[in-house]
């Protein structure tokens, strides 16, 4: 239902980002063909001065004016009228005016039809790019609420359990209506307080969109209570139904309790919710990355990549290591581990199950698919860290991030090797090499499409693939892959008519529909994470922390535990903002190198996302593989490790990595 408006908004963001690059290139092209092109971008008006004045008459006029002012000038120490100086000034002005007329005439002669066409295109693209940039806040809010409404209608917000029984439906929907009502009250008070303040209200549409958005969510909740669309299972327990309440609802309720009852600050919820809007460009990029993930999911690329490893008959443990390695690159480009789980989690889980993996291990691997790659170039999270902390730069972080990534992979391999039930196996090289090489052939056209598009950007727009250009380039690249697949589809090669369930339009519609659900769920959670960060900050929960510790080991122990705890309750982007103003300063003051600290923070965050009771990455995994698959993984007998492997394996891997990343650099004196 909402796939079209979401597609239009996402496409607008992509076009605006590309328009900025295209405009920059057009300016260079204009300067190449027409020297001083910047002077031709608009018609130069004819100067209003007279290029041929009567110098003698002007001198007479100036002398008369000087005589009339003699009496007034006598009160001050001023020089008498100098005819020679006046003549020289008039001649200089005449020459200046003549030059202006000559320049205007030359400019008019140089504006040919080709210039008019080119500058119309160039200035039009510039206007679109600037206008889209000015409208970023409104675009983000529209996207947020349209996607949140879609997610609410489909009842797929991030929660500890899905809505299964009627009790789940009633409790979850009523809790959402209450939370959205609290947010609505806060947004109304926020708007009222802004208009009552003496400051100028900027972006007034933002406040109305907040109000209308929360009101629309309440209306959907009430409608679902009165007329539920699907039959739910009978029975259920009311207390157990609380697990079906979305996480953002718990956050909103906790924050409202603090702001409303303790501080009496009714606008507090909306103010910190709006911090998401202040970073509109960043969170629009997150929306793009989720869309890229859903687009990628509609292609055969993931399946084809794993087919390359099929001839090697890898044991499930080795294939799990391969999955961590393969998924690291898309994780780095999508910016967060949760996004790659949404995009590729189902494929990873399916391939591991086909390789004979234990269900628990397959779920564990899927949950931490992207946890290792968040430290690699060009991860958006690392870019945000460098933007907020002048003590570090992206090159430093990415350099040490590669070492951290390799450490995580080695640790993961050690744990799956220690917990294996059968001997690790791999097919002989002489048996697997040729089939594996043949499986690479279908990937070559995909590589060709990527190379062509990257080359167009590189040589046509002078833009390379990095952490800044990736959000606008990746959608174009994936759309190019979808075009190729549609062109190379079997129904086209066989001369048959296109199936209604396939084709370019169907892929875009499906991807946009799925993306709208995940964008709504994730952005609502992120926005309320900012609110929770505001509560932590204003309540002074971190203000009582000592600014100095007796030893570096005590400092590292405290920081590690605090960062994991923050990762358990906040999304990565909100956590970075909170930590930058609190724990980061404590680390710097206690002699912890900034790069070292942020490596610890990134690993600790990932450990938090994999640690109960919230374990966000496990919740996302359940959404992608299905509640039924997770339910099948429950074991009542057997070794403790295997019964809880989906939780223990990721936790053990990331906790060991955190310990190594935190301790080894200090032991070897790397940062002193």
DSSP state string for 1-33: --HHHHHHHHHHHHHHHHHHHHHHHHHHHHHHH
Query: Could you tell me how many residues make up the chain?
Result: 672
Provide the domain count of the chain.
4
Parent domain of 178: 139-278
| Spatial separation of the C-alpha atoms in residues 238 and 210, rounded to whole Å | 32
**Is the domain of 337 the same as that of 390?**
yes
Alpha helix positions (H), 457-499? 470-487, 490-493
**Is the domain of 271 the same as that of 353?**
no
**Tokens read off for 72:** 């007034």
| Spatial separation of the C-alpha atoms in residues 549 and 348, rounded to whole Å | 44
Q: Measuring CA to CA, which residue among 290, 372, 288 is closest to residue 328?
A: 372
Average predicted confidence (pLDDT) for the chain: 88
SS3 call for 497: coil
| Spatial separation of the C-alpha atoms in residues 38 and 27, rounded to whole Å | 8
Q: Measuring CA to CA, which residue among 384, 361, 365 is closest to residue 374?
A: 384
Is 497 within a domain? yes
| Spatial separation of the C-alpha atoms in residues 428 and 112, rounded to whole Å | 70
Query: What are 588-646's pLDDT values in tens digits?
Result: 989 899 999 999 999 999 999 999 988 999 999 998 898 889 999 998 888 999 999 99
**Is the domain of 259 the same as that of 295?**
no
**Is the domain of 273 the same as that of 291?**
no
Residues with Cβ within 8 Å of 448's Cβ and at least 6 positions away in sequence, in order, are none
Bridge partners for 288 per DSSP: none
**Is the domain of 329 the same as that of 425?**
yes
Q: Is residue 636 exposed (0-12), middle (13-18) or buried (19+ Cβ within 10 Å)?
A: exposed
Query: What are 68-100's pLDDT values in tens digits?
Result: 665 555 545 556 777 778 888 888 888 898 888
**Is the domain of 455 the same as that of 332?**
yes
Domain boundary among 97, 114, 132: 132
| Spatial separation of the C-alpha atoms in residues 598 and 95, rounded to whole Å | 63
Is 44 within a domain? yes
Residues with Cβ within 8 Å of 342's Cβ and at least 6 positions away in sequence, in order, are 290, 293, 294, 518, 522, 620, 623, 624
Q: Measuring CA to CA, which residue among 291, 346, 332 is closest to residue 479?
A: 291
Give the CA angle between residues 506, 285, 612 to the nearest 5°.
Answer: 95
**Tokens read off for 87:** 């003549």
CB 382 within 8 Å of CB 394: yes
Is 336 within a domain? yes
**Is the domain of 42 the same as that of 102?**
yes
**Tokens read off for 627:** 């509640």
| Spatial separation of the C-alpha atoms in residues 585 and 605, rounded to whole Å | 18
Give the CA angle between residues 328, 517, 575 to the nearest 5°.
Answer: 55
**Is the domain of 273 the same as that of 298?**
no
SS3 call for 130: helix
| Spatial separation of the C-alpha atoms in residues 107 and 39, rounded to whole Å | 8
Q: For position 491, what pLDDT does the model report?
A: 47
Q: Is residue 110 exposed (0-12), middle (13-18) or buried (19+ Cβ within 10 Å)?
A: middle
Domain boundary among 86, 104, 132: 132
**Is the domain of 200 the same as that of 332?**
no
DSSP 308-372: TTGGGT--HHHHHHHHHHHHHHHHHHHSSHHHHHHHHHHHHHHHHHHTT--HHHHHHHHHTTTTT
DSSP 511: H
Is 525 within a domain? no
| Spatial separation of the C-alpha atoms in residues 396 and 565, rounded to whole Å | 26
**Is the domain of 267 the same as that of 286?**
no
pTM for this model (two decimals): 0.85
DSSP 460: I
Domain boundary among 250, 278, 306: 278
Is 531 within a domain? no
Is 448 within a domain? yes
Is 534 within a domain? no
Q: For position 657, what pLDDT does the model report?
A: 97
Mean pLDDT by 10 residues, the chain (672 residues): 86 94 92 87 82 81 72 55 79 86 84 91 94 93 96 94 92 97 96 80 86 97 89 82 95 96 94 90 89 88 89 93 91 79 85 90 93 88 90 93 96 95 90 95 95 94 84 92 84 50 82 93 92 89 77 92 91 87 90 94 95 91 89 90 96 97 86 52
| Spatial separation of the C-alpha atoms in residues 458 and 475, rounded to whole Å | 16
**Is the domain of 271 the same as that of 287?**
no
| Spatial separation of the C-alpha atoms in residues 16 and 8, rounded to whole Å | 12
Residues with Cβ within 8 Å of 370's Cβ and at least 6 positions away in sequence, in order, are 327, 328, 330, 331, 334, 336, 337, 338, 339, 340, 341, 617
DSSP 263: I
Q: Measuring CA to CA, which residue among 102, 127, 260 is closest to residue 184?
A: 260
**Is the domain of 304 the same as that of 376?**
yes
Q: Which residue has the tokens 């959907």?
A: 220
Q: For position 145, what pLDDT does the model report?
A: 97
């Amino acid at each position: 239902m909402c796939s079209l408006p979401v597609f239009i908004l996402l496409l607008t963001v992509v076009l605006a980002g590309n328009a900025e690059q295209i405009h920059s290139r057009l300016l260079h092209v204009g300067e190449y063909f027409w020297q001083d092109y910047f002077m031709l971008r608009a018609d130069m008006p004819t100067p209003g001065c007279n290029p041929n004045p009567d110098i003698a008459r002007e001198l007479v006029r100036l002398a008369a004016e000087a005589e009339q002012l003699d009496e007034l000038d006598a009160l001050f120490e001023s020089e008498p009228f100098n005819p020679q100086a006046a003549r020289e000034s008039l001649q200089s002005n005449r020459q200046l005016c003549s030059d202006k007329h000559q320049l205007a005439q030359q400019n008019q002669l140089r504006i040919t039809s080709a210039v008019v066409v080119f500058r119309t295109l160039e200035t039009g693209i510039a206007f679109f790019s600037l206008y889209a940039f000015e409208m970023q806040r409104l675009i983000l809010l529209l996207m947020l609420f349209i996607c949140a409404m879609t997610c609410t209608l489909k009842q797929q917000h991030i929660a500890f359990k899905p809505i299964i029984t009627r009790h789940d439906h009633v409790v979850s929907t009523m809790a959402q209506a209450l939370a959205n009502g609290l947010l609505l009250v806060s947004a109304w008070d926020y708007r009222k307080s802004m208009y009552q303040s003496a400051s100028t209200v900027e972006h007034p549409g933002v406040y109305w969109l907040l109000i209308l958005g929360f009101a629309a969510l309440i209306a959907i909740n009430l409608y679902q209570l009165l007329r539920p669309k699907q039959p739910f299972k009978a029975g259920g327990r009311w207390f157990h139904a609380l697990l079906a309440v979305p996480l953002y609802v718990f956050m909103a309720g906790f924050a409202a309790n603090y702001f409303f009852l303790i501080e009496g600050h009714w606008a507090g919820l909306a103010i910190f919710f709006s911090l998401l809007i202040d970073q509109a460009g960043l969170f629009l990029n997150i929306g793009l990355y989720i869309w890229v993930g859903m687009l990628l999911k509609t292609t055969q690329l993931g399946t084809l990549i794993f087919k390359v490893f099929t001839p090697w008959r890898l044991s499930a443990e080795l294939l799990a290591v391969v999955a961590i390695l393969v998924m690291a690159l898309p994780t780095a480009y999508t910016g967060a581990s949760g996004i790659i789980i949404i995009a590729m989690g189902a494929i990873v889980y399916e391939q591991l199950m086909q390789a004979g993996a234990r269900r628990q291990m397959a779920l564990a691997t899927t949950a931490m698919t992207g946890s290792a790659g968040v430290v690699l170039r060009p991860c958006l999270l690392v870019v945000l860290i460098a933007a907020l902390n002048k003590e570090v730069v992206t090159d430093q972080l990415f350099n040490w991030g590669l070492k951290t990534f390799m450490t995580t992979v080695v640790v993961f391999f050690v744990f799956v090797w220690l917990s294996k039930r059968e001997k690790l196996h791999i097919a002989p090289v002489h048996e697997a090499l040729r089939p594996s090489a043949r499986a690479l052939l279908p990937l070559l056209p995909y590589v060709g499409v990527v190379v062509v598009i990257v080359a167009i950007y590189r040589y046509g727009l002078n833009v390379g693939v990095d952490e800044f250009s990736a959000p606008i380039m990746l959608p174009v690249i994936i759309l190019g892959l979808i075009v190729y697949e549609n062109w190379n589809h079997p129904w086209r090669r066989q001369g048959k008519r296109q199936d209604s369930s396939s084709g370019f339009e169907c892929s875009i519609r499906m991807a946009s529909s799925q993306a709208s659900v995940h964008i709504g769920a994730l952005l609502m959670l992120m926005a309320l994470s900012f609110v929770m960060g505001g509560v932590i900050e204003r309540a002074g929960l971190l203000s009582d922390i000592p600014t100095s510790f007796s030893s570096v080991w005590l400092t590292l122990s405290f920081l590690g535990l605090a960062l994991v705890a923050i990762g358990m309750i906040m999304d990565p982007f909100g956590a970075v903002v909170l930590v930058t103003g609190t724990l980061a300063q404590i680390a710097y003051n206690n002699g912890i190198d900034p790069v070292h600290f942020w490596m610890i923070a990134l690993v600790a965050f990932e450990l938090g996302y994999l640690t109960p009771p919230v374990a966000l990455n496990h919740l996302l995994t359940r959404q992608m593989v299905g509640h039924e698959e997770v339910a099948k993984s429950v074991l009542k007998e057997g070794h403790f490790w295997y019964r809880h492997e989906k939780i223990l394996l990721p936790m053990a891997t990331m906790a060991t990595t955190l310990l190594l990343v935190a301790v080894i650099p200090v032991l070897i004196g790397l940062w002193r």
